[in-house]
Chains A and B, each alone.
Chain A
Amino acid sequence: MIDVEDVVVRYGTAIALDRVSLTVAAGEMVALIGANGAGKSTLLNALSRVVPTASGSMRIRGCFAHVPEGRQLFSDLSVDDNLRLGAFRATDRDTSWIYELMPELDGVRKRRADSLSGGQQQMVAIGRGLMARPDVIAIDEMSLGLAPKVVQSLARQLSRLNEERGLGVLLVEQSARLALSLCSKAYVLETGRLVAEGPSRELVNSHFVVSAYLGSPLEETA
């Protein structure tokens, strides 16, 4: 699905990504965790060709959708318009399946996107990404600024899409706890470099990940 190999991204003289390699297989849920400024969003922007790479290679097989940080909705358009615009490259622009998947949006489909709560806006952003009928979706900071209950609901929906439709997911998160509990594999990025990678069940027991990102073992707080 996604194959990133030794990618370097520079902003002027600063190196934002330094020889980063990452793979997301078909139907796999992969987490990319790291602190603010680690380069997580840069990697997604490079995958979307929003920022150019200085070297390395990136291959995406199948349809790829990117849900950017901060939701980036079309604020003065309705929820339904936002969703339909997500299918710009697709031929099927029927939004009914998104409302079935996220019933919370059904009652607000005619409302302007900027009048919604943060959780609803995040659902619209994810729904807009899903409208492209992607094989893999990359979601940047899904939990940022949202109540735990809303985050749990979004996580459930993603897991359901992964199980029922085989949707590949690349979840970029500052919340390592959420990312590691949701995804089977994870990468840890620090100041543009990958410092750890492997199955989530191994990383949650790694002393480095526990001390730097979890604070306490995952099982204790689950």
Chain B
Amino acid sequence: MSAFLSYLVHGIAVGCGFALIASGLIIIYRVTRVVNLAQGMFAVLAGLTASSMLDLGLPHGLAEIAATIASAAAGVILGLVAIGKRGTSPEASLIVTLGVGIFGYALEILIWGDQPRSFAGLSGLLKISDLELPKQYLLIIAVTLLVFGALEVFFERTYLGKTLSACASNPGAARLVGINVTRMGLVGFALGGALGGVAGVVLTPLTPVSYDSDMPLFVNGFAAAILAGLRRPILALAGGIGLGVAEAMVAGYAKPSYQSSLALLLAITILVVQSARRSSLHVAEQ
């Protein structure tokens, strides 16, 4: 397989993980207006939990599902702390998520220690003509597509999905029709936790995780979310894959150490451009 195709497939697979983290960020942000700085923690928690479950003898599949549920539960707990108190501003909630993320470090070190952990994913290669694709990469892509398909159905076809969209669209009107916006925010945090958890269980076989792996995951997820304009989760799929492929190409053709800076650079550039555009719009309106 040519180097280019190898980088491309690797980039798509890793980018799918970023997209999952980004979609969780977007759902939480849209429903609660809170940028969840602890989004990377969900992936780390799920990766570490899955490795422990597998060590305890749980079969693959069940261990990953249990780890994802644990991440969703962590999402609810984080949501309760961040937005549970009525009248908490999104800015205050953002700081709370940072604090909980740091508290998570302590808990993770206490339970799993400070050494990176991993577990075996799908081994082997799938040969298509002269292409050899690692099966774990294909699994990541398949799981991601399945999850995004389910998200699309959830938001487009279910009443709960529409209720979450209503809270994102107009929280004041949502309250008037009787929707408990805080409770829906907790549903958003649970979904965000689950999506971060899925990212964690599919990425950990590729890259071992430790308590402090959350920040690189968050930065990449945040950059993908910003690329998607923090709007629809489905747009994060394109954002995540685009970012993953770009990073893989930079690592492959330039230096691997540049890879981690790319997401940060991209996020900062987009934020500065958007901010400048908003400022000029504001001046034009005045």
Contacts and interface: CB of A to CB of B under 8 A. Distances in A.
A74 B173 contact: yes
Nearest to A68: B176
B177 A128 contact: yes
Nearest to A89: B178
B233 to A, nearest CB: 14
A184 to B, nearest CB: 26
**What does DSSP make chain A's interface, helix, strand, loop or mixed?**
loop
Interface stretch (B117-125, B163-171, B201-209): B163-171
Given A84-B159, A85-B162, A74 B175 contact: no
B152 to A, nearest CB: 15
A77 B166 contact: yes
A115 B30 CA distance: 21
A73 B173 contact: yes
B162 A81 contact: yes
Interface in A75-95: 75-77, 81, 84-86, 88-89, 93
Contact of B177 (A50, A75, A76, A85): A85
A48 interface: yes
Contacts of A75: 169-170
A158 interface: no
A72 interface: yes
B178 A72 contact: no
Interface in B180-222: none
B125 to A, nearest CB: 44
B165 A84 contact: no
**What does DSSP make chain B's interface, helix, strand, loop or mixed?**
helix
Given A77-B162, A81-B162, A88 B169 contact: no
Nearest to B173: A72
B186 to A, nearest CB: 17
B171 to A, nearest CB: 10
B138 interface: no
Interface residues of A, number: 19
A74 B166 contact: yes
Contacts of B179: 85, 88
B172 A72 contact: yes
Interface in A42-91: 48, 50, 66, 68, 72-77, 81, 84-86, 88-89
A128 B177 CA distance: 8
Given A89-B178, A128-B177, A132-B177, A74 B172 contact: no
B169 A74 contact: yes
A73 B170 contact: yes
A76 B176 contact: no
A86 B159 CA distance: 12
B166 A48 contact: no
A197 to B, nearest CB: 26
A88 B165 contact: no
A63 to B, nearest CB: 10
Nearest to B162: A81
A168 B101 CA distance: 51
B173 A68 contact: yes
B155 to A, nearest CB: 10
Contacts of A89: 177-178
A132 B178 contact: yes
B169 A76 contact: yes
A76 B177 CA distance: 17
Nearest to B172: A72
Contacts of A72: 170, 172-173, 176
Contacts of A76: 165, 169
18 contacts: A50-B172, A68-B173, A74-B169, A74-B173, A75-B170, A76-B169, A77-B166, A81-B165, A84-B162, A85-B162, A85-B163, A85-B174, A86-B177, A88-B177, A88-B178, A128-B177, A132-B177, A132-B178
Interface of A: 48, 50, 66, 68, 72-77, 81, 84-86, 88-89, 93, 128, 132
Closest 7 CB pairs of A and B: A72-B173, A89-B178, A74-B169, A74-B166, A88-B178, A88-B177, A85-B166
Given A68-B176, A72-B173, A75-B170, 4 more contacts: A72-B176, A73-B173, A81-B162, A88-B163
